[in-house]
């Protein structure tokens, strides 16, 4: 099996490159610039983008092993600029830069752009520009602003300024496929079925007959992680469901019913509502919320582990959690601390097992299908580990939780009834710490503001707001306003990711 290394220079899209390569049927790994392992036998290497400038004195440099590498290289954005500088070209500060959707025009034939229209829509994110290409190179494409968008030496280097890994790049997948098949000449040799078999063997070998507990929330990620580990160690896995009071309405009843009664899995339910709400009292900063929740989770699991004489904790951490918490690499900027990654305490008595850490959300769902997990679990909308604490902007209290639980359930039920739940990737409600004047029963009212949020995505790293029909929004808003008296106004969020995140906190 070929291993395709993706050298990470800190781009939030680095893992997307790895995912796109896997989607094409090749096993990719993300490597840091200071990794000691060498990939000299790999047929190709991809250099990611990144937030740095090659004009800065302390900019990230190529890994030492890459200087001995003789295979083919695809450079993306910063990866392109770094190779241009290394090979004797010139990179300068751009006057305007290019961000978001930018038209690109193909100006020369090449296997990399074979079958790509003469003009296509790309995704750019750069200010520095390539002014002079290295000796022996030729220009393959330029942007609508006449900036160099792609170059090659026709032998080893294939460099692009745009981001083919982002789904907004209209022919990005085809360009990556061209690089693997037509430039590098390698055929697909990896699948998620391979991943499942390899991971089960890996977990079985690591635990070697030992026990583990699993942080089971009932969501897609933790469910897949639990079943995957269960396949490896069977009854030695104890699932722990923590009711922290921040769950969706009736979740504390529905999750145990599904996993204990329908799936027959070992399940321990811990009522921790009081301790979580006490810790969150007076806290409004979202990063503090996540860290408090992350630490409290671990303390609960440590207590349960001592009861069952267990030293391993299974978590449903996935790639997007790692990336946004800035734990994928030293050059990656933090977006927010996920409770199960950046929110973990520095000192903990449990050893982590994160079997799906390398996978994106859509890959996790596919693994769930391979494992035979029921469809109603595999295709549930994502739900954040910190729960409603990050959907209540500001302080979390019992009244706000009651309001949000009821409003969120009405919104989701409306989508289900009208056939739109499965047509959106994720939908939920957010409660704001502001009030708005209204009129109810011919009298002045002064109620809370509720935000409805629905997005379409594949892997969760980028997302577009869902174009819900107006009649759906109208029905949901009327039901909420009629049933939840504390809410006086309902609005709909039309922010995509980027520039926003999917969750509000």
pLDDT of residue 319: 76
Residue 217 has pLDDT above 90, yes or no: no
pLDDT of residue 439: 84
Look up the pTM and report it: 0.70
Catalytic residue among 2, 44, 77, 324: 77
Give backbone dihedrals phi and psi of 115, rounded to 5 degrees, phi first: 80, 0
Domain 192-378: give its CATH architecture.
3-Layer(aba) Sandwich (3.40)
The H or E element containing residue 231 is helix 220-233
Question: Count of CB atoms within 10 A of residue 453's CB?
Answer: 23
The H or E element containing residue 93 is strand 90-106
- Rounded distance between C-alpha atoms, residue 103 and residue 97, angstroms: 14
Phi/psi class of residue 123: alpha, beta or left (left: φ > 0; alpha: ψ in -120 to 50)?
A: beta
Q: Helix (H, G, I), strand (E, B), or coil: what is residue 274? A: helix
pLDDT mean over 33-50? 93
Distance of alpha carbon 354 from its chain centroid, rounded? 15
Residue 173 has pLDDT above 90, yes or no: yes
β-strand pairing of 463-465 with 487-492: unpaired
End-to-end CA distance of the chain: 40
Q: Options 3.40.190.150, 3.30.428.10, 1.10.260.40, 3.40.50.880; which CATH number does 3-183 get? A: 3.40.50.880
Catalytic residue among 2, 126, 163, 230: 163
Residue 218 has pLDDT above 90, yes or no: no
Q: Helix (H, G, I), strand (E, B), or coil: what is residue 239? A: strand
For the domain spanning 397-492, the CATH number is 3.30.300.10
- Is 77 annotated as catalytic? yes
Residue 189 has pLDDT above 70, yes or no: yes
Q: Helix (H, G, I), strand (E, B), or coil: what is residue 252? A: helix
pLDDT of residue 340: 46
DSSP state of 390: G
Give backbone dihedrals phi and psi of 101, rounded to 5 degrees, phi first: -70, 125
- Is 165 annotated as catalytic? yes
Confirm if 87 and 70 have CB atoms less than 8 A apart. no
Locate the domains of the chain by residue range: 3-183, 192-378, 397-492
pLDDT of residue 265: 82
- Rounded distance between C-alpha atoms, residue 374 and residue 264, angstroms: 13
Percent of the chain having pLDDT more than 90? 69
Instruction: Tell me the three-class secondary structure of 325-380, residue by residue.
Output: CCCCCCCCCCCCCCCCCCCCCCCCCCEEECCCCCCCHHHHHHHHHHCCCCHHHHCC
Closest to 11 in 3D by CA, of 104, 102, 117, 82: 82
- Rounded distance between C-alpha atoms, residue 38 and residue 96, angstroms: 38
Catalytic residue among 2, 44, 126, 165: 165
The alpha-helical segments, DSSP class H, found in 9-52 are: 14-23
93 Cβ contact partners less than 8 Å away, ≥ 6 residues apart: 53, 55, 127, 128, 129
Residue 208 has pLDDT above 80, yes or no: yes
Task: Return the biggest CA–CA distance within the chain.
Answer: 78
pLDDT of residue 328: 45
Q: Mean pLDDT, the chain, as a whole number?
A: 90
pLDDT band for position 338 (50/70/90)? Answer: very low
Considering only 19-28, 287-296, 459-468, which range has the smallest mean pLDDT? 459-468
303 Cβ contact partners less than 8 Å away, ≥ 6 residues apart: none
pLDDT of residue 74: 98
- Rounded distance between C-alpha atoms, residue 391 and residue 130, angstroms: 43
pLDDT band for position 331 (50/70/90)? Answer: low
User: Is pLDDT larger for residue 57 or for residue 111?
Assistant: 111
pLDDT of residue 330: 53
User: Is pLDDT larger for residue 358 or for residue 365?
Assistant: 365
What residue ranges in 260-339 does DSSP mark as E strands?
267-271, 312-314
pLDDT of residue 270: 95
Give backbone dihedrals phi and psi of 443, rounded to 5 degrees, phi first: -125, 155
Same fold, 3-183 and 192-378: yes
428 Cβ contact partners less than 8 Å away, ≥ 6 residues apart: 381, 383, 391, 408, 411, 412, 453, 454
Confirm if 8 and 37 have CB atoms less than 8 A apart. no
- Is 381 annotated as catalytic? no
**Cα–Cα distance list, 39 to 17, 35, 152, 237, 255 (Å):** 17, 10, 22, 36, 44
Residue 339 has pLDDT above 50, yes or no: no
Residue 102 has pLDDT above 60, yes or no: yes
pLDDT of residue 342: 47
**Cα–Cα distance list, 330 to 33, 86, 361, 390 (Å):** 9, 22, 23, 26
Query: Tokens 């035979």 appear where?
Result: 372
b/e map of 44-83 (b: 16 or more CB within 10 Å)? Answer: bbbbbbbebebeeeebbebbebbeebeebbbbbbbbbbbb
pLDDT of residue 307: 92
DSSP state of 497: B
Residue 320 has pLDDT above 80, yes or no: no
């Amino acid at each position: 099996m070929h291993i395709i290394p993706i050298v990470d220079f800190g781009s939030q899209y680095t893992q997307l490159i790895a995912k796109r390569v896997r989607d094409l049927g090749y096993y990719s790994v993300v490597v840091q610039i200071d990794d000691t392992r060498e990939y000299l036998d790999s047929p190709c290497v991809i250099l990611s983008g990144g937030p740095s400038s090659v004009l800065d004195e302390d900019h990230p440099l190529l890994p030492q092993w890459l200087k001995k590498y003789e295979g083919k290289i695809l450079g993306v954005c910063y990866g392109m600029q770094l190779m241009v500088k290394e090979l004797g070209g010139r990179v300068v500060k751009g006057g305007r830069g290019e961000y978001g959707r930018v038209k690109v025009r193909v100006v020369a034939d090449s296997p990399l752009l074979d079958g790509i229209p003469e003009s296509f829509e790309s995704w750019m994110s750069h200010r520095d520009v390539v002014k002079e290409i290295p000796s022996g190179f030729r220009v393959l494409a330029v942007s609508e602003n006449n900036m160099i968008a792609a170059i090659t030496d026709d032998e080893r280097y294939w460099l692009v300024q745009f981001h083919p890994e982002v789904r907004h790049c209209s022919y990005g997948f085809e360009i990556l496929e061209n690089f693997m098949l037509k430039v590098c000449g390698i055929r697909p040799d990896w699948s998620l079925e391979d991943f499942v078999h390899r991971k089960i063997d890996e977990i079985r070998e690591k635990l070697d007959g030992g026990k583990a507990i699993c942080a089971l929330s009932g969501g897609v990620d933790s469910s897949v992680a639990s079943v995957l580990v269960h396949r490896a160690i069977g009854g030695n896995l104890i699932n722990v469901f923590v009711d922290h009071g921040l769950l969706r309405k009736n979740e504390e009843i529905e999750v145990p019913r599904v996993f204990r009664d329908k799936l027959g899995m070992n399940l321990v339910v811990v009522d921790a509502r009081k301790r979580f709400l006490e810790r969150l009292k007076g806290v409004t900063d979202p990063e503090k919320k996540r860290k408090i929740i992350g630490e409290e989770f671990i303390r609960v699991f440590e207590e349960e582990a001592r009861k069952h004489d267990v030293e391993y904790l299974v978590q449903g951490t996935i790639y997007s959690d790692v990336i946004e918490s800035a734990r994928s690499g030293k050059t990656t900027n933090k977006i927010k601390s996920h409770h199960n990654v950046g929110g973990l305490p520095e000192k903990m008595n449990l050893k982590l097992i994160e079997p799906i850490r390398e996978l994106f959300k859509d890959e996790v769902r596919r693994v769930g299908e391979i494992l035979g997990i029921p469809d109603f679990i595999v295709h549930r909308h994502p739900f954040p580990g910190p729960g409603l604490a990050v959907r209540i902007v500001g302080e979390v209290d019992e009244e706000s939780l009651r309001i949000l639980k009821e409003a969120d359930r009405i919104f989701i039920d409306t989508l289900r009834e009208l056939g739109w739940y499965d047509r959106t990737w994720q939908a939920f409600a957010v409660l704001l710490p502001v009030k708005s004047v209204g009129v109810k029963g011919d009298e002045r009212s002064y109620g809370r503001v509720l935000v409805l949020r629905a997005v379409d995505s594949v892997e969760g790293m980028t997302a577009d707001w869902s174009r819900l029909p107006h009649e759906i929004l109208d029905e949901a808003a009327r039901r909420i306003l009629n049933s939840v008296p504390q809410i006086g106004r309902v609005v709909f969020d039309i922010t995509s990711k980027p520039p926003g995140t999917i969750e509000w906190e």
